Structure 1
Amino acid sequence: MAPETSAGSGAGLSGAGLHTLLAWTSPSFPIGAYTYSHGLEWAVEDGTVRDAATLRAWVTGVLRHGAGWSDTLLLVHGLRAAALGEEAAFRELLDLSLALQPSSERRLEASAQGDAFIAAIIGAWPPSGDTAATRLFARLTQGEAALARGEWTYALAFSAAAAAWGLPEGPVATAFLHAFAANLVSAAVRAVPLGQTDGQRVVNGLGDEIVTLAVAALEAPLEEIGGCAFAADIASMKHETQYTRLFRS
């Protein structure tokens, strides 16, 4: 399937594909996303995030300069490698995605959600058909060569499944970014605490940012991976020793 030219258009995404993406990015999909705050709980503790305006600034920074950007770039390149059945390239991306985690909690966040996502796909959404992507998915999840627990990351698990299901990369990137941002907002609604309406205003206000970043990720070479979200990285390290915590990261 040819890549889309616009991440926001949904071109090439069938009704069944939309149903699949909505299910995979739903808060009800059993990956435990609600238990992680990506360091945001510490930012609430130290007063950096205290209302809707500071939350939007924090999430925007993480999307542009942190894991929002790097994970989406990994997702796109992982989807392309998986679609072609390029196992060596896909495994290199997995190694890179693990190496980019700045703290033990962030590595747990990425790998635990990746493991849970793959388990849910195998148990309830197994891909069918005989394509390069479905064969690669089978090799990575079955038999002696299968990846062990802790070797998946969420971004690469999502890309492997999306390729096996034949989902177009534009909508996949947009949905992935939206789910990431919405989960951070959900964490802030509980931790600040922030009202549900203010939380939805933040999600609404991030729409253009999410679409722009998704389009950029479709066009960017892997060499543009990286970021400078130092406050979020330090917050994830500080969170490891935070006295009172609601979240695992």
Structure 2
Amino acid sequence: MAERVDTQALLRLVTWLSPAFPVGAFSYSNGLEQAVHDGHVTDAESLRLWLETLLRHGSGWNDAVLLAEAYRAFDDPARLALVIELAESMAASRERHMETMLQGEAFLAAARHWPHPVLDRLGDGVAYPVAVGAVAGAHATGLEPAIAAYLHASVSNAISVAIRCGVTGQRDGVGLVAALEPTIAAVAREAEAASLENLGSATITADISSLRHETLHSRLFRS
């Protein structure tokens, strides 16, 4: 039977994954700025393909699986400690590590407005998807909605990055959000049923872009 989500839990989820929630997501591009610089992403269609690939086969998929495990483990300290350690170790570059850890720290600091013992179990140094997953689990937001909201926020931030890099405009950006809805929904369903054994990435170009961004001579974003 599907987990029932009440309105209050849904409102919390919407708040936590809102662009206004103070995690500093606008500062990071997850290597997309470098991909634009190198000519891998040049227009709305190539951006759609880039994001869809990350969602299905790259960092988006891995984040979704880690979030799901943290959601299920929020009240099991030993199990939660394992996913915390694994998530940090999976960062593909120094900047990707900085991005996920600093956003996780900022998320937990802001989430203290919704007190729960899980915050003490998490501490401060936790990767972003683990922080979101454990807090969402503690507040029973529903696992699939939590994954979908997280992925939607990630896609929306990436499209905002692309707009600021001059790849696309706001109208086409909104169209991309709509076009990627089926992929986000499908990945959320698959990740809900996945385990840590399903972790894996095949987005080598994206990982290289994240590494190369460390030496990009002029940049807008921290990753």
CA RMSD of aligned residues (A): 1.3
Q: What secondary structure, in the 3-state scheme, does the structure 2 residue paired with 1:152 have?
A: coil
Question: 1:137 touches 1:164 (CA, 8 Å); kept in 2?
Answer: no
Q: Distance in 2 between matches of 1:216 and 1:116?
A: 28
Structure 2 residue aligned with 1:138, among 116, 120, 124? 120
Deviation at 1:219, TM superposition (A): 1.2
Query: 2:136 is matched with which residue?
Result: 162
Q: Distance in 2 between matches of 1:49 and 1:160?
A: 33
Query: 2:76 is matched with which residue?
Result: 86
Query: 1:65 is matched with which residue?
Result: 57
Overall identity of the aligned pairs, in %: 40
Question: 1:98 touches 1:153 (CA, 8 Å); kept in 2?
Answer: yes
Query: 2:43 is matched with which residue?
Result: 51
Structure 2 residue aligned with 1:99, among 89, 102, 111? 89
Query: 1:229 is matched with which residue?
Result: 203
Unaligned runs of 5+ in 1: 5-10, 128-134, 141-146
| Count, aligned residues | 223
Q: Distance in 1 between matches of 2:8 and 2:211?
A: 41
Q: For residue 203 of structure 2, what is the amino acid of its counterpart?
A: A
Q: Distance in 2 between matches of 1:40 and 1:157?
A: 23
Find out whether 1:32 has 2:14 as its counterpart.
Answer: no
Q: What secondary structure, in the 3-state scheme, does the structure 1 residue paired with 2:126 have?
A: coil
Deviates more, 1:208-217 or 1:179-188: 179-188
Deviation at 1:166, TM superposition (A): 1.9
Question: 1:44 touches 1:192 (CA, 8 Å); kept in 2?
Answer: no
Deviates more, 1:151-160 or 1:32-41: 151-160
Q: Deviations over 1:75-95 (max 9, x none)?
A: 01111011xx21111111011
Q: For residue 207 of structure 2, what is the amino acid of its counterpart?
A: D
Question: 1:49 touches 1:192 (CA, 8 Å); kept in 2?
Answer: no
Question: 1:74 touches 1:93 (CA, 8 Å); kept in 2?
Answer: yes
Unaligned runs of 5+ in 2: none
Please give the TM-score of this superposition, normalised by the length of structure 2.
0.96
Please give the TM-score of this superposition, normalised by the length of structure 1.
0.86
Query: 2:180 is matched with which residue?
Result: 206
Deviating beyond 6 angstroms after TM superposition, the runs of 4 or more aligned structure 1 residues are none
Structure 1 residue aligned with 2:114, among 111, 118, 125? 125
Q: Deviations over 1:141-183 (max 9, x none)?
A: xxxxxx34xx211011111211221221111111111111111
Question: 1:162 touches 1:172 (CA, 8 Å); kept in 2?
Answer: yes
